[in-house]
Every structure is written in structure tokens, then in C-alpha cells.
Amino acid sequence: MTTSGNNEARTEPKAIVLNVNDHAATRYLVSRMLDLAGYQVLEASSGQEALVLATQLPDLVLLDVEMPDIDGYEVCRRLRGSEETQGLLIAHLSAVSITREDRIRGLAYGADAYWTTPFEEEELLANIEALLRLQRRAQDAIRVRDDFLSVAAHELKTPLTALRLHLERTFFLTTRTKTDTVPKASLDKGLSASLRQLSRLQQLLDTLLDVSRVSNRRLKLEVGTVDLADVAREVHQRLEPAARALDTEIQLELPAGPLVLFGDRLRMEQVLNNLLTNALKYGNGKPVLLRVEAREDMAVICVKDQGIGIAVQDQARIFERFERATPTQQSGSLGLGLYIAREIVSAHGGTIAVDSQSGHGATFQVLLPLRRLERY
């Protein structure tokens, strides 16, 4: 392995690397290279020492294969066998054991990578960074999944708990003694509340099903002529009670006549519902604008709020699955509304974008071709 003697300014450590090698000169060169690249380095000169230092849970174990006490294969096997260290990222680095059989054995014992020297410094650093990047992505995916499952469980538990209480109350009323009379109004109240909770559960499950369909490109579209102005009018009317409950209003601006495109009416309702629900949720109780208009050969939907806004660095992220503009604990949402809206708009051959700054509200704009339609 060659070194370039790079004297660039040092940066804060990017990750902790445990460098395990019984050959002092090689260990020094690798450690120096990692240190100059900004990594925090731990050093071990034997397999036994590596097992001890690995309990500090470094981000990567760079493990030589040939060592006098415990070889790298056995070190790797023991690390994988321990509950404490089984999740470590391990890469073998060897100048001696370089055959195909060596690599197969190393990977079979649990290594994530098997590299053989000589290496140019830049090549080794690139391999290390790539391996760490893949690890971070996997960890981020697990974190997003766990956050989503936590919120989904909470969202599903709320209507289920309410449904159970309503049904238990109704059961109590209907199992009273024969001499008692059960007021019809009491039964109607309990059953109506139960139906509302069932409807909420159905909406949550439909949302999760939509995500599955979108991911597999199986989002079903019932294509026909759609008056977008009429869709906006209907969604506005449907969400007015929610707006009043927040002591705000949805201002509606529509074209003088119909605005017709080819598409799926129910899916267009879903897009508007998701955008308006978000605007009401994050709008700080201030009026929300819904505007529908024609612009050349495009239909334009604009939803504008005057709320907390969205930071520039978050504006692309919020359209992805399970992503929210605010932390999970604050939003209490599944983080799926904008993702599904984007996919529906895309299926109609359109685009969706947001213009916003933190603290200055957000404007979502949907552009839809008045003729063209992409099919899923």
C-alpha cells in the first residue's frame, strides 16, 4: 500500500475504525492514513486485543487475517457469535491470504468485505467510505421503519380503543334485565360512534395498502373525465368542519367554468384531501387557500398555508415514504400523505412541488396535463 503524505486540514472524526494488524509497519501506515482522512483510530496488535477493543463498538473493524495468537477468521467468528458485537461492520484486509478460497472463508465466517493489498491509499479509503455509507443507509432505513411502526401502532390503537369502549357500552345497554328499557338514542349514539372509528381504521389501512401498491407500481386508476373544479369544491365542503374545529377557514378560488382532465376522480380527491389536511395541521390556525386554475395546457392546483413552513433542506425529503417535516413525536402522522400524493400526481403525468421557508408558510403546487395520462 502506498501513501500520499496528504497534509490537508484535519476534520472532526467521521467514524471510529479499529485497525487490527500484528505487523507494526503496516498497522502504522493504515492508522496514519485513516487519521489523516479524519477517522478516529483504535489499534490492536493481536486477535485477543481486538476482541477486547471491539467491545467499544467501533464503526468498522479493519481486521488482518494472519495473526499469531487468534487468526482473523476466528476473531470474526467470535465477534459474530457475541450478542454485544454481532452487529459490527467487519472488513478483512490481508496481504498474504489472497486466494479465492481465503476470501470465501473470510466471508463465510461473517466478514462484510474481504480486501487484499497492495492498495492505493485513495482506493482503500474509497472502499472504507462506501462500506460505511451502506451501513449508515441500512441503519437509517431501520430507524425510519421503527419510527413508522411506532406511529402506525399509535394511530391504529386510538380508534381501536375508542371502538372497544363504544361497543362495550352498547353491549352493556343491550344486556340489561328485561324489565329495563334501552333508549334508542343511546344505542344510536354508541353505534354511530363505533362506525366512525371503523371508518377511521379503514382509512388508515387503505393508506397502508396504497403505499404497497405504489411501491409495486400497482396503483389502480379508474380513468375518466374529471372536473377538477368540482373535485375541489367537494373536498372543500368535506373539510370545512375540520377547519371550523381549528377556528380557521379554507378559502376557495375556482375558475368560472369546469376544468376537465382525464384521470381518476377519487385519486384526485385524495391528493387535495392530503394537501389540505397538511395545510390545516401545520397552518397555525390561519386561513388556508385552495386555488384551481388553467394555465395554457395544464391544470394547476395551489394549496397555500401561513404556518410553520418547511426548511429548504427538508423540502425534497417530505415527499418520500414515512418522512415528516416535523419529528415523529410532534407530528403524530404516518408520513405517507405527501408521498402518496406525489405518486398519484406522477401517475397522471403531472408534477408536485413546494415553495416554503421556515416560519413563513408553505405553498404546494400541482401541475397536471389536461390530456396526457400515465398508466400504472
CA triple 180-185-190, angle to 5 deg? 95
Domain 147-215 sits in CATH 1.10.287.130: yes
Nearest CA to 128 among 16, 229, 207?
16
> One fold for both 16-119 and 224-369?
no
β-bridge partners, 366: 301, 352
Query: Which ranges of 117-263 does DSSP label H, i.e. alpha helix?
Result: 121-174, 184-215, 228-245
Q: What is the pLDDT of residues 85-114, one digit of tens each?
A: 998 999 998 888 788 888 898 898 999 999
Q: Give the pLDDT confidence score for residue 95 in this predicted structure.
A: 82
Contact 331, 310 (CB under 8 A): no
CA angle at residue 131 from 126 to 134, to 5 degrees? 125
Question: What backbone phi and psi angles, to 5 degrees, belong to 257?
Answer: -125, -170
pLDDT at 207: 62
Mean pLDDT confidence for 336-341: 83
The H-or-E segment that residue 113 falls in is: strand 113-116
- Could you tell me the residue ranges of all domains in the chain? 16-119, 147-215, 224-369
- Domain 16-119 in CATH: superfamily? Response regulator (3.40.50.2300)
Cell of 77: 467468528
Q: What is the pLDDT of residues 33-71, one digit of tens each?
A: 999 999 999 999 999 999 999 999 999 999 999 888 899
Give CATH superfamily name and number for 224-369: Histidine kinase-like ATPase, C-terminal domain (3.30.565.10)
Residue 274 CB contacts under 8 Å (≥ 6 apart), including other chains: 337, 338, 340, 341
Sign of CA dihedral 153, 158, 159, 164: positive
Pairing between strand 298-305 and 260-263? unpaired
Note the pLDDT of residue 11. Answer: 44
Q: Is the dihedral of CA 321, 327, 328, 332 positive or negative?
A: negative
The C-alpha angle with vertex 280 and arms to 277 and 286, in degrees rounded to 5, equals 160
Which of 184 and 123 is assigned the larger pLDDT?
Answer: 123
Look at residue 4 and tell me whether its pLDDT is greater than 80. Answer: no
Average the pLDDT over each of 7-16, 216-225, 356-365, 367-376 and give the range with the smallest value: 7-16
Please name which of 113, 107, 90 lies closest in space to residue 44, comparing C-alpha atoms. 90
| C-alpha distances out from residue 166 to 68, 180, 195, Å | 71, 20, 10
- Residue 9: per-residue pLDDT: 42
- Res 361 pLDDT > 60: yes
d(CA 85, CA 73): 15
Amino acid identity of residue 148, one-letter, is F
> Which residues are bridge partners to 34 per DSSP?
none
pLDDT over 70, % of the chain: 78
Given a cut of 80, whether residue 233 has pLDDT beyond it is yes
Give the number of other Cβ atoms within 10 Å of residue 61's Cβ: 28
Between 51-60, 243-252, 310-319, the lowest mean confidence (pLDDT) is in 310-319
The pLDDT value recorded for residue 187 is 72
Residue 302 is predicted with a pLDDT of 97
- What pLDDT, on a 0 to 100 scale, did the predictor assign at position 248? 92
Please count the other Cβ atoms lying within 10 Å of the Cβ belonging to residue 177. 5
Confidence of residue 182 (pLDDT cuts 50, 70, 90): low
Q: pTM for the full model?
A: 0.51
At 13 the pLDDT is: 52
pLDDT bin (cut points 50, 70, 90) of residue 376 is very low
CB atoms within 10 A of CB 229: 20
Beta carbons of 91 and 111 less than 8 angstroms apart: yes
Instruction: List own/partner pairs for 170-177 with CB under 8 A and 24 or more apart.
Output: 170/194
User: Cis link prior to 241 (omega < 30° from 0)?
Assistant: no
* Of the candidates 270, 287, 289, the residue with the CA atom closest to the CA atom of residue 337: 270
> How many angstroms from the chain centroid is the CA of residue 296?
36
How confident is the model over 194-219, as a mean pLDDT?
64
Q: What is the pLDDT of residue 272?
A: 94
Largest CA distance in the chain: 96
Highest mean pLDDT among 135-149, 158-172, 186-200, 340-354: 340-354
The answer to whether 365 and 355 have CB atoms below 8 angstroms apart is: yes
186-196: burial string, b at 16+ Cβ within 10 Å, e else: eeeebeebbee
Q: How confident is the model at residue 299 (pLDDT cuts 50, 70, 90)?
A: very high
Other beta carbons less than 10 A from residue 357's beta carbon: 12
- What is the identity of the amino acid at 330? Q
